[in-house]
Amino acid sequence: MASCDDSFDIIVAGAGPVGLSFAASLAKSDLKVAVVEQQALESLAKPPFDGREIALTFASISILRELGAWDAISAGHKSPVQGARVLNGSSPFALCFDSPRGSAEPLGFLVPNCRIRDALFKIIRSQHRVQLLCGRSVVGVSNSRKGAVVKLSDGTRLAARLFVAADSRLSRARDLLGIAADINRLGSSMVICRVRHERAHHQLAIEWFDHHQTIAILPLMEGESSLLLTLRANEANRLLALDDDLFLIELTDRCRGRLGKMTLASKRHIYPLVTTWAHSFWAPSAALVGDAAVGMHPVTAHGFNIGLGGQKRLAHGILTAIRNGHDIADPDMLRRYESHLRLRAAPLYHATNILVGIYSNEHRAARFARHVGLRLGGYLPFVRHGIANMLGR
């Protein structure tokens, strides 16, 4: 390690929302932290709108508030969700999720991904113990119980007591650590855009499993929603290539006029769908957080919530180790972090994959089962409450 260009207590690969949150969670310590990000500093400082609206539970809002990020996001970017509806094809029945009777609180809030990134970036820039290394990527990792040596794309070699991978579900850092993962490329893509529409959304989120497509309608400000359309990859690419007028005509038809007349309120974005589950969430002197550990299917919109809670747990373990005079890469602490994250993430991850499998199956028997299941779910309170609890209400 003496040959390294610089030494840190912790090196984080990836300056996405979870990576930045993790660095911010360590701000009250004296740890020297480096965050390596392949994007240029200018891109991090002014994150562009990418179409993604993040559904935040109150647990996640509490974490962001502790970090100082929640209050840094203007009220105009926080859209309350008063309820949710799950629909199946043309069935008139819906599975409903609403706030408890008598409660004035919404189920959660929708916030643009770029606004969360912006708030967290500003927090990190104000922390003198955190160093952002932008325009570079991690190309090599040598880790052992003694620590980690990280090689960057510009040839720089850095040493750390703990290396943390937070660089997406197709994590290169995870591969460099030799940690295998179940990677499921679903062959589908999600087309996302904001639309203005004539019919009121009443702050209700809709997840509509229709035939050969899934449509999510997320309520933003009055008369505006984020519309997410999941299709086979080739069909999604065809839709994206249409001009605005033809795109809106087809979008209105696919939504069966549910929102009335629509106009585009943003550019269109497309994201191929991939889910991942790492076989291990830690290695000697290393750990995985966020999508590098668990890459959730977006249908439940809770991937970020899982990642945000996971990074808090890891940061808590590190800070507790410091207070107790222990190693910040203590294997027992990392095992406890993994056990906690698996216990929290596994039920939602596997249940979501089963749900997607059932609702994307177009066989007649599966369609009938969906119809029956939706009706039963509406009459069985433990089903609704169980799902609501699983989602972190």
Is pLDDT larger for residue 191 or for residue 371? 191
Q: Which domain holds residue 161?
A: 6-183+274-391
Supply the CATH number for residue 316's domain. Answer: 3.50.50.60
Assess if residue 14 is contained within a domain. Answer: yes
Q: Are strands 33-37 and 130-134 parallel, antiparallel or unpaired?
A: parallel
Q: Are strands 181-197 and 79-81 parallel, antiparallel or unpaired?
A: unpaired
Assess if residue 243 is contained within a domain. Answer: no
Q: What is the pTM of this model?
A: 0.90
pLDDT in tens, 235-248: 999 999 999 999 99
Alpha carbon distance 150, 177 (integer Å):
11
Q: How many whole angstroms from its chain centre is CA 213?
A: 21
Assess if residue 205 is contained within a domain. Answer: no
Assess if residue 154 is contained within a domain. Answer: yes
pLDDT at 358 over 70: no
pLDDT of residue 231: 95
Assess if residue 198 is contained within a domain. Answer: no
Assess if residue 263 is contained within a domain. Answer: no
Assess if residue 268 is contained within a domain. Answer: no
Q: 311: closest CA among 284, 279, 344?
A: 344
Task: Please give the backbone phi and psi of residue 280, each rounded to the nearest 5 degrees, phi first.
Answer: -140, 150
* Reduced DSSP (H G I as helix, E B as strand, rest coil) percent helix, strand, coil of the chain, to 5: 35, 30, 30
Number of domains in the chain: 1
End-to-end CA distance of the chain: 46
Output the six-digit token pair for 48: 């562009």
pLDDT of residue 97: 75
pLDDT in tens, 136-163: 999 999 999 999 999 999 999 999 999 9
pLDDT of residue 392: 43
Longest dimension (CA), the chain: 68
Task: Please give the backbone phi and psi of residue 159, each rounded to the nearest 5 degrees, phi first.
Answer: -115, 150
Output the six-digit token pair for 115: 């606004």
Alpha carbon distance 240, 48 (integer Å):
19
Assess if residue 42 is contained within a domain. Answer: yes
Q: 116: closest CA among 238, 361, 290?
A: 290
pLDDT in tens, 178-218: 999 999 999 999 999 999 999 999 999 998 888 888 999 99
